[in-house]
Amino acid sequence: MTILDRYLLRELAGAWLVGLAVFSGFLLIGEVLRKSVELLFELRAPPDEVIRWVLLALPYIFVWSIPVTTLFAVVMTIGRMSNDLEITAFLAAGISFFRLLIPIGTMAILVSFISFWLNAFVVPTTYGAADALLWSYRRKSGETFGLFIAEPIKAPRLILNAKTFNPSKGELKDLWLLELNEKGERIYLEAKRALWVGKRWEFYDGFVQVITVDKEKPLIRENFEHLSRSTSLRPPTELSADKKRLAPNRLTLTALSEEIKKLKKWGVPREIIAEYVVEWHNRFAMSLSCFVLAILGSPIALRLKRGGGIAVGISVVLFLLYYLIWNIGCQLGESGRVPPLVGSHLPNLFGFVGAIAMLYKLR
């Protein structure tokens, strides 16, 4: 490692730590403060439990801060060096700008590995524990979140997933139900709401899809505002509130892989599985974004010739654009319009092409 490499890495590290503090602070004020206020004032949790929740949520905050922090560190460092004519001095000494990409790329790769480790194995566990803590206090108010039932476990004939379950009211919200009946038909139902009335479940605002054994008419689909249908789903008093299904982003990479295999084995509709597959690819896409944004930020900073406040502004704008494209890509991947791999990595593809184009112009 040369003096130049050590100097640039030292400058990047300082800017990166400043950026991590700034952007983590932004996220803390938004996500964490809102839920902390809910815990402390609405759910009456003791202060030590609120502090515990904040500490459990910190890795999640850091993971979302790391990509924009890496971009900020590169824009800040290269912009300042360009403004102070250090880049000009390097070029005059025969050192190509592309030579500076070696320490920048090294730092970005290291950060990408840290991001991957946190995102794949640490955050799902810690933020899942934070969710469980928050959920335990919400549950005391009579409402349970994330109910999941698969009966029997080894070869389910009925699978239920509901975002909200209120046992006292006998109410499920935002649910899907997959059932195999005695005729061999697979019944898939989605509804905004289900209510236990009398001795049966009433479903509202959704659709039901029946895959029959009749080859002439294998698929029957019907939209409904209100549907009264017999099902083997038990009454609310017999549903366990402890069976909480973890969202895809609350599963470690290993658990996520196992969950995808399990859902495919159970014959769960592709639309449900796609959400898990997209999340699996997101673990890699989020980590790779650190490297892509670092390489993209280098030629942009060289053109701006500025550091300081403008580096923060440019970093935020670029990351918001990245997040917008990523969100669109995830939706396309989950809907099946593009492969999950392409949907998750869509912003990385755009960013990489943009970086190559701008670096080519610097030749």
Q: What is the sign of the dihedral through the CA atoms of 264, 270, 274 and 276?
A: negative
The verdict on 81 and 159 lying in the same domain is: no
At 307-339, the pLDDT tens digits run 556 777 888 888 899 999 999 999 999 988 999
Q: What's 216's domain CATH number?
A: 2.60.450
| Spatial separation of the C-alpha atoms in residues 47 and 226, rounded to whole Å | 44
The verdict on 353 and 232 lying in the same domain is: no
- Low-confidence residues of the chain, pLDDT below 50? none
**pLDDT (0 to 100) of residue 142:** 62
Residue 265 covered by a domain = no
The verdict on 9 and 135 lying in the same domain is: yes
Query: Which of the listed residues 230, 247, 264 is the one where a domain comes to its end?
Result: 247
| Spatial separation of the C-alpha atoms in residues 74 and 301, rounded to whole Å | 8
Query: Which of the listed residues 198, 231, 247 is the one where a domain comes to its end?
Result: 247
Domain that holds residue 224: 145-247
Q: Residue 345 has which token pair?
A: 């990595």
Global pTM reads 0.80
The residue type of 34 is: R
In the chain, % of residues over pLDDT 70: 92
Instruction: Please state the domain count of the chain.
Output: 2
The verdict on 240 and 302 lying in the same domain is: no
Which of these, 340, 324, 357, 336, lies nearest to 284 by C-alpha position? 340
Strands (E), 20-157: 144-151
Strands (E), the chain: 144-151, 158-166, 171-180, 186-197, 200-211, 219-228
The verdict on 205 and 282 lying in the same domain is: no
| Spatial separation of the C-alpha atoms in residues 150 and 177, rounded to whole Å | 10
The verdict on 131 and 27 lying in the same domain is: yes
Query: Which of the listed residues 231, 247, 263 is the one where a domain comes to its end?
Result: 247
The verdict on 133 and 157 lying in the same domain is: no
At 33-45, the pLDDT tens digits run 888 888 888 888 8
| Spatial separation of the C-alpha atoms in residues 259 and 148, rounded to whole Å | 13
Could you tell me whether strands 171-180 and 219-228 are parallel, antiparallel, or unpaired per DSSP bridges? unpaired
Residue 103 covered by a domain = yes
**pLDDT (0 to 100) of residue 328:** 95
Instruction: Give the other-Cβ count within 10 Å of 321's Cβ.
Output: 13
**pLDDT (0 to 100) of residue 217:** 66
